[in-house]
């Protein structure tokens, strides 16, 4: 039974020569500089953050880096998904060149998934790759995007179209930082947390059912083990399939419909996690209709999403448009639309043959 304490506070993502530690401890931001030095990185570096996160954490972060003897150039970009692009990557290259960063100089990403993806992309490409230190500050980034090595910027034609797999050298997670995160962002991050329970760990799902209200008020004795369990699951999956050629696809549970919802609403209405919650419901309903999942477990998922404060419907959306967007996505994926469907809590499967009619009905249910 997952009781909230089985993970050590330092996990290892085991990828042979690309292995790296993930530190998780409330209050550890003040030790960031020491951890970077211990990892053998520096003495120069580039700190990438955004203006919102900088207001809260730049002073503490910079003093930790300086005290450890690191000479770090800082860039705070404007806050928002719109800045995760090649133009801002280029400005970061300029800053890296001006600061004369060399191959041992880390790029340090202090922020949510936007900063992690952008700074990660820069680390992957500057001088053909310099060390990346992820310091995630949203729940989504702490449980998902900072681990596993997906880095990217957006293109005018779509999100994350320019990117790579590039593993960090170090991930430092301070759950205490979440105290300043807007409630909606916390809730959106919890959708990704619930995802891990459905696809990988039934006991963890049950733990979330028991403790979700405590997670919502950021009780550290609950949120810390939650983050640790998610990172451990992600590490396990990434170790099995670093480049998403097979089982890593399970991490996309809820994303097929979720992406269509985000695109339809121009990324203006739903946070990524909220769209994923909607997508998990649609995929769950499809699995139910195919006779491959039980009604009682589907209802448990629905109830947990509801208690977390996540949306259960997309009012007013046109199901045909949502379906068209998914077909468009499918073309981008060279015809391989892969549905991730639950089989039982803690176990999911990839299905490439969901009938279009069933998808239509799932979407109709979602918008009603
Ligand atoms: P985000 O980075 O935009 O952060 C959300 C908001 O929270 C922003 O306004 C940010 O300034 C603010 N914020 C961040 N930390 C804060 C803190 N501690 N206190 C107060 N405010 C804080 O959004 P996100 O949800 O973290 O990330 C979304 C991005 O992540 C998308 O670009 C998505 O494509 C990407 N993503 C990447 C992966 C991956 O594996 N690489 C996985 C999932 C999502
Ligand atoms: N966020 C999904 C993955 O990293 O594969």
Q: How far is CA 271 from CA 44, 45, 349, in A?
A: 35, 31, 25
Please tell me if the CB atom of residue 234 comes closer than 6 angstroms to any atom of ligand 1: no
Question: Is residue 156 exposed (0-12), middle (13-18) or buried (19+ Cβ within 10 Å)?
Answer: exposed
Give the list of residues 6+ apart from residue 353 with CB closer than 8 angstroms, or none. Answer: none
Pairing of strands 158-165, 170-173: unpaired
Predicted pLDDT of residue 5:
56
Predicted pLDDT of residue 226:
98
* Residue with CA nearest ligand 1 atom 40: 145
Check pLDDT > 80 for residue 8. Answer: no
- What does the DSSP 8-state code read for residue 183? H
Which domains are present in the chain? 10-179 (3.40.50.1970), 183-367 (1.20.1090.10)
* Residue with CA nearest ligand 1 atom 11: 52
120 CA: nearest ligand 1 atom: 41
Check pLDDT > 90 for residue 331. Answer: no
Check pLDDT > 70 for residue 234. Answer: yes
Identify the band that residue 173 occupies on the pLDDT scale cut at 50, 70 and 90.
very high
Give the list of residues 6+ apart from residue 182 with CB closer than 8 angstroms, or none. Answer: none
* Residue with CA nearest ligand 2 atom 2: 251
Mean pLDDT of the chain: 95
The percent of residues in the chain predicted with pLDDT above 90, rounded, is 91
Please tell me if the CB atom of residue 52 comes closer than 6 angstroms to any atom of ligand 1: yes
Predicted pLDDT of residue 1:
60
- Centre of ligand 1 from the C-alpha of residue 354, in Å: 31
Mean pLDDT within 20-35: 97
* Residue with CA nearest ligand 1 atom 24: 113
Please tell me if the CB atom of residue 113 comes closer than 6 angstroms to any atom of ligand 2: no
| Weakest-pLDDT range from 36-50, 106-120, 149-163, 320-334 | 320-334
Check pLDDT > 70 for residue 325. Answer: yes
Pairing of strands 170-173, 132-136: parallel
* Residue with CA nearest ligand 1 atom 9: 79
Please tell me if the CB atom of residue 185 comes closer than 6 angstroms to any atom of ligand 2: no
Mean pLDDT within 51-79: 98
- Centre of ligand 1 from the C-alpha of residue 79, in Å: 10
Q: How far is CA 244 from CA 130, 132, 251, 262, 287, in A?
A: 23, 21, 9, 22, 22
Check pLDDT > 80 for residue 245. Answer: yes
> 240 or 266, which is more confident?
240
Q: Which ligand is nearest to the CA of 195?
A: 2
Please tell me if the CB atom of residue 113 comes closer than 6 angstroms to any atom of ligand 1: yes
Mean pLDDT within 242-255: 96
Alpha-carbon span 313 to 310, nearest angstrom? 9
pLDDT digits (tens, 9 = 90+) for 307-319: 999 999 999 899 9
Q: Which residues are the active-site residues?
A: 128, 150, 192, 234, 244, 248, 252, 255, 259, 272
Identify the band that residue 327 occupies on the pLDDT scale cut at 50, 70 and 90.
confident
Contact 363, 290 (CB under 8 A): no
Neighbouring C-alpha atoms within 13 Å toward the C-beta of 183: 6
């Amino acid at each position: 039974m997952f009781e909230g304490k089985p993970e050590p506070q330092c996990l290892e993502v085991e990828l042979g020569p690309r292995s790296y530690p993930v530190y998780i401890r409330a209050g550890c931001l003040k030790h960031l500089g020491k951890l970077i030095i211990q990892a053998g990185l520096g003495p120069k570096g580039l700190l990438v953050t955004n203006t919102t996160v900088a207001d809260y954490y730049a002073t503490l972060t910079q003093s930790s880096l300086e005290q450890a003897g690191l000479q770090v150039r800082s860039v705070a970009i404007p806050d928002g998904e719109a800045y995760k692009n090649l133009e801002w990557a280029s400005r970061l290259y300029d800053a890296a060149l001006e600061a004369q960063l060399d191959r041992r100089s880390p790029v340090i990403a202090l922020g949510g998934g936007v900063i992690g993806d952008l700074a990660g992309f820069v680390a992957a490409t500057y001088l053909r790759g310099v060390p990346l230190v992820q310091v995630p500050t949203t729940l989504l980034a702490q449980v998902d995007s900072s681990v596993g090595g997906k880095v990217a910027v957006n293109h005018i034609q779509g999100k994350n179209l320019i990117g790579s797999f590039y593993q960090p050298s170090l991930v430092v997670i301070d759950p205490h930082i979440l105290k300043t995160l807007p409630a909606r962002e916390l809730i959106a991050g919890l959708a990704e947390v619930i995802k891990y329970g459905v696809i990988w760990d039934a006991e963890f799902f049950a733990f979330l059912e028991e403790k979700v209200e405590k997670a919502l008020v950021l009780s550290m004795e609950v949120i810390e083990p939650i983050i640790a369990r998610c990172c451990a699951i992600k590490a396990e999956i990434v170790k099995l399939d670093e480049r998403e050629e097979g089982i890593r696809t399970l991490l996309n549970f809820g994303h097929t419909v979720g992406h269509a919802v985000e695109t339809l609403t121009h990324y203006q209405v739903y946070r990524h996690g909220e769209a994923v919650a909607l997508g998990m419901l649609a995929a769950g309903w499809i699995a139910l209709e195919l006779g491959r999942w039980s009604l009682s477990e589907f209802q448990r998922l629905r109830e947990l999403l509801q208690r977390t404060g996540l949306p259960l419907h997309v009012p007013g959306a046109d199901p045909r448009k949502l379906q068209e967007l998914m077909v468009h996505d499918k073309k981008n994926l060279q015809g391989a639309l892969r549905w991730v469907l639950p089989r039982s809590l803690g176990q999911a499967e990839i299905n490439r043959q969901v009938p279009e009619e069933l998808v239509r009905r799932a979407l109709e249910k979602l918008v009603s």
